[in-house]
């Protein structure tokens, strides 16, 4: 197998919308506008605490000594997503709750309810943890759209499915490709495995391929049938620069780490029975917390 070489045999120049909805993975409305100009469309956007900390205005405030209170940070976040909201299509804007390893489902839900009011097209991001899943279960019962983030295993995706069954709106689950690669695994396998697991399901959960770091990740996600992909502007720039290729019939992907085997799981089980623990979910929460705290006043 070889990495896609982007010869004419291995790509089809885009004539229509790609097979997956395209979301911008970022925290700067200006970047979203640029991507729109470049592609002619943007279906949605995902944000997270690290991306918000990198927003030029937030960075400027922090650099000039104006560290924010938690309330100011939430106001900044709200301002950013309100500016992005009208720029995107029907995949909406994902807004992440601030959660550390001890945040309760109740506290996440309180934030989710508040954030969901910020814009008409929000999806609330909760982590794939026990408390995050409890918050998601209650959110969908209240009509709050959710995006379950920091997903690193098929078991976590199965738990998302079982916890949100009956949701009236599509639920997103976000498997993180790049961070699995970083940990020595072949991250794209998780996309294939989850898509396969959901093939015979009621399809209330859609796969949103995340942590996409390069063009092969993007093309593989199209190829595997992810319903949505969230992509940093610089990767979209490269994709656009190459004529927005799609994986052709001879598409091949060079595995980058240990293969992730498929697991046969019973989606009809109560969600609490799945093994939802994952070290990378824990590490991901810690990283989001430290990026978020870096923008906050020490006293808060
Ligand atoms: C999007 O929802 C995720 O937060 C994002 O794709 C994570 O990407 P990273 O692993 O490159 O930080």
**Among 98, 211, 218, which residue has the most ligand 1 atoms within 8 Å of its CB, making it the best to mutate?**
211
Give yes or no for residue 271 CB within 6 A of ligand 1. Answer: no
What pLDDT is attached to residue 293? 87
What average pLDDT does this structure show over 75-82?
95
Distance 177 CA to ligand 1 centre (A): 9
What string of DSSP letters covers 121-176?
A: TEEEEEESSHHHHHHHHHHHHTT--EEEEEE-SHHHHHHHHHHTTT-SSPEEEEEB
| Residue 79 reports pLDDT greater than 70 | yes
The 10 Å Cβ neighbour count of residue 248 is 16
| Residue 86 reports pLDDT greater than 80 | yes
Cα-Cα-Cα-Cα dihedral sign, residues 27, 30, 31, 35: positive
- Residue 283 is a catalytic residue: no
The residue whose CA is least distant from atom 7 of ligand 1 is 211
- The whole-angstrom separation of Cα 9 and Cα 199 is 29
Query: Residue 182: which residues within 8 A CB-CB, separation 6 or more?
Result: none
What pLDDT is attached to residue 148? 98
- The whole-angstrom separation of Cα 219 and Cα 33 is 23
Collapsing DSSP states into helix, strand and coil, what is residue 264?
coil
| Residue 1 reports pLDDT greater than 50 | no
Interval 118-145: pLDDT, tens: 999 999 999 999 999 999 999 999 999 9
Exposed (0-12), middle (13-18) or buried (19+): which is 241, by Cβ within 10 Å?
Answer: exposed
Give yes or no for residue 214 CB within 6 A of ligand 1. Answer: no
**Among 25, 46, 174, which residue has the most ligand 1 atoms within 8 Å of its CB, making it the best to mutate?**
25
Distance 48 CA to ligand 1 centre (A): 8
- The whole-angstrom separation of Cα 92 and Cα 124 is 10
Provide the pLDDT confidence category of residue 12 given band limits of 50, 70 and 90.
very low
Sequence-ordered strand ranges (E) for the chain: 11-12, 21-25, 44-46, 92-96, 122-127, 146-151, 171-175, 205-209, 228-231, 246-247
CB 139 within 8 A of CB 112: yes
Q: Quote the tokens at residue 280.
A: 């990378």
The 10 Å Cβ neighbour count of residue 16 is 6
Return the higher-pLDDT residue of 12 and 109.
109
Mean pLDDT for the chain?
93
What pLDDT is attached to residue 298? 56
Distance 76 CA to ligand 1 centre (A): 20
| Residue 75 reports pLDDT greater than 50 | yes
Q: Quote the tokens at residue 192.
A: 């294939």
pTM above 0.95, yes or no: no
């Amino acid at each position: 197998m070889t990495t896609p070489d982007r010869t004419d045999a291995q790509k089809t120049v885009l004539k229509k919308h790609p097979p997956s909805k395209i979301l911008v993975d970022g925290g700067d409305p200006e970047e979203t506008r640029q991507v729109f100009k470049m592609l002619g469309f943007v279906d949605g956007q995902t944000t997270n605490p690290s991306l918000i900390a990198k927003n030029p205005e937030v960075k400027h405030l922090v650099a000039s000594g104006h560290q924010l209170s938690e309330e100011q940070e939430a106001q900044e976040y709200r301002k950013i997503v309100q500016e992005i909201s009208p720029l995107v299509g029907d995949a909406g804007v994902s807004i992440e709750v601030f959660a550390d390893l001890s945040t309760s489902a109740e506290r996440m839900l309180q934030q989710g309810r508040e954030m969901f009011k910020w814009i008409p097209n929000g999806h609330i991001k909760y982590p794939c943890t026990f408390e995050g899943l409890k918050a998601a279960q209650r959110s969908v019962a209240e009509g709050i759209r959710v995006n379950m983030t920091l997903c690193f295993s098929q078991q976590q995706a199965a738990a998302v499915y079982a916890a949100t069954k009956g949701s009236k709106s599509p639920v997103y689950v976000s498997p993180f490709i790049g961070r699995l690669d970083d940990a020595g695994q072949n991250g794209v396998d998780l996309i294939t495995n989850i898509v396969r697991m959901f093939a015979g399901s009621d399809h209330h959960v859609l796969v949103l391929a995340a942590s996409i770091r390069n063009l092969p990740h993007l093309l593989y996600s199209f190829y595997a049938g992810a319903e949505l992909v969230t992509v940093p502007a610089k990767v979209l720039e490269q994709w656009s620069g190459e004529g927005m290729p799609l994986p052709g019939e001879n598409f091949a992907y060079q595995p980058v780490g240990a293969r992730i085997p498929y697991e046969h799981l019973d989606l009809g089980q109560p969600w609490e029975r799945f093994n939802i623990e994952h070290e990378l979910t824990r590490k991901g929460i810690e990283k989001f917390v430290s990026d978020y705290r870096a923008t906050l006043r020490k006293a808060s």
